[in-house]
Amino acid sequence: MIGNWKATAWLSSPLAGEPPYLDAILEGEMSFRLGAKHEKKLTRDTLLSEIMRVPIPLAKRTIEGYDVYACSDPIIPDPAAEWVDYSGKRIDGDYIALLLAPEERKSIGVTSGAYKMRYAPIRVRLIDRICWFFRGDKYEIRRILKTVFAVGAYRKIGYGIVDKWEYEEVEDDYSIFANGILMKTIPTNERLQNMSGYKIGFGGIKPPYWHPENYMEIAIPC
């Protein structure tokens, strides 16, 4: 049933990185189910025209000639705490060499490639929920999201675990605009002259948000 809804992901562990877009979560999960993620690896060098697009049960709006999904940017409360963790990877060649016969020992590169050492900072926020407003088929979306058990970055090591998903029907469509306030990242346009609560930037308006082909001048809710 198409309607106006608010989705809430209640978290049981801190969020790493930035809160994700709902349409990106849905496309990612559907790509996994339909096998698109295994068909071809998506990188910045891959042409979007070569990637199989998957359907998701969200309404669309056309803004400045671009079709965007009717779902707001993620909304989070003020964090109860915020800190920086680190993700590290290091190959200790001295210890590994002791496990090999002398004639089998050789040098490996640790400045690039599969064995590159890293010690990357991770922004972590202690929040209890992430909310999105959207217009779409709530029952189909619930069927997709019921197998999404974590959100954000570094999910495989325990960040952003979803305790439960909740859905609340709302009277008005707050997916893109709400009482003169911008709710979603969209292309810059003349209508923004009557809006508030945004900043101008450069980036994507639809999944995959990080791909260069999707980059343009955008208005970002803040």
Give me the pLDDT at residue 189, please: 82
**Would you say residue 48 lies in a domain?**
yes
Assess whether 46 and 147 both reside in one domain: yes
Assess whether 166 and 148 both reside in one domain: yes
Gap between the Cα atoms of 217 and 189, Å rounded: 10
Assess whether 69 and 17 both reside in one domain: yes
Phi, psi at residue 26, to the nearest 5°? Answer: -65, -45
Assess whether 68 and 89 both reside in one domain: no
Count of structural domains within the chain: 2
Assess whether 120 and 144 both reside in one domain: no
Q: Which domain holds residue 67?
A: 2-77+127-176
What 3-state DSSP class applies to 117? coil
Average pLDDT over residues 132-136: 96
**Would you say residue 91 lies in a domain?**
yes
Assess whether 9 and 71 both reside in one domain: yes
**Would you say residue 199 lies in a domain?**
no
- Please check whether residue 140 is in contact with residue 57, taking contact to mean a CB–CB distance below 8 angstroms: yes
Gap between the Cα atoms of 13 and 9, Å rounded: 12
pTM recorded for the entire structure = 0.86
- Higher pLDDT: 163 or 2? It is 163
Average pLDDT over residues 90-108: 79
pLDDT-derived band at 2, boundaries 50, 70, 90: confident
List Cα–Cα distances, 149 to 49, 67, 95, 162, in angstroms.
30, 29, 37, 5
Assess whether 51 and 105 both reside in one domain: no
List Cα–Cα distances, 127 to 57, 77, 82, 83, in angstroms.
27, 7, 9, 12
**Would you say residue 200 lies in a domain?**
no
Assess whether 60 and 146 both reside in one domain: yes
